[in-house]
Amino acid sequence: MKIGYARCSSDSQEYQLQVDQLKALGCEKIFAEKVSGKSTNNRDQLQACIDYAREGDLVCCTKLDRLARNTIDALKIADALQAKGVGLHLEDLKVDVNSDVGRLVYTTIAAVAEMERKRIAERTREGREVAKAKGTHMGRPVSIDAQKVLQLKSEGLGATAIAKQLKIGRASVYRILDAN
């Protein structure tokens, strides 16, 4: 039986193209999830896919980086499947991961995918540092005017009235009042 695994990194991304490709490869059962590939932790569908696979099955994935972004995890996944007598097909590599040459190619590409993930994280960090140095606000936009909360409190309004007037939560009002 051919079993498919699809993954994208966040809720704003979509894995439907992967699912369609896996169906075209003949996958009868497909596991899909929206979660980071940084590690295999919290990847319930990946674990369910590995658990579901039986001897003689073939697990298919469209690209190695959809399966793992970490060399050690990629090797552990391949080993877990091989120990069960399950094949692993990566459409982008077009190799049998359980063969000697396939394992070499798989390991090399997994290492490259891991390096790419690290470089993306490094560039993102550098970009944040440059933006902060320029005075760019990072994170959620500031939407609560603490001075306005304090002014309304000094005018005698209660927390509920302040929250309604400013269209913010009462907890936010209390947090500002407690801090001052």
What digits encode the pLDDT tens for the residues 153-171? 999 999 999 999 988 889 9
Closest CA to 88 of 70, 112, 69, 105: 105
**What is the set of active-site residues?**
9
In what order do the strands lie in the sheet containing 29-34? 29-34, 2-8, 58-61, 87-90
The whole-number pLDDT of residue 138 equals 81
Distance set, CA 172 to CA 158, 159, 179 (Å): 13, 9, 11
Mean pLDDT check: name the lowest of 54-58, 78-82, 89-93: 89-93
Look at residue 93 and give its three-state secondary structure.
Answer: coil
The whole-number pLDDT of residue 2 equals 97
Integer Cα distance of 19 and 71 in angstroms: 24
Q: What is the identity of the amino acid at 53?
A: A
**Average pLDDT of span 117-126:** 91
DSSP code at position 179: H
Mean pLDDT check: name the lowest of 12-16, 86-90, 113-117, 141-145: 141-145
Quote the mean pLDDT of the chain: 90
Contacts of 132 (CB under 8 A, 6+ apart): 138
pTM of the shown model? 0.65
Look at residue 3 and give its three-state secondary structure.
Answer: strand
Q: Which residues of 20-51 are buried (b: 16+ CB within 10 A; e: fewer)?
A: ebbeeeebebbbbbebebbebeebebbeebbe
Integer Cα distance of 50 and 40 in angstroms: 12
pLDDT in tens, 128-141: 999 989 988 887 76
Task: Please determine, for residue 41, whether its predicted confidence score (pLDDT) is greater than 90.
Answer: no
**Average pLDDT of span 170-177:** 91
pLDDT interval class at 173 (50, 70, 90)? very high
- Is residue 144 classed exposed, middle or buried when 0-12, 13-18 and 19+ CB atoms within 10 A define those classes? middle
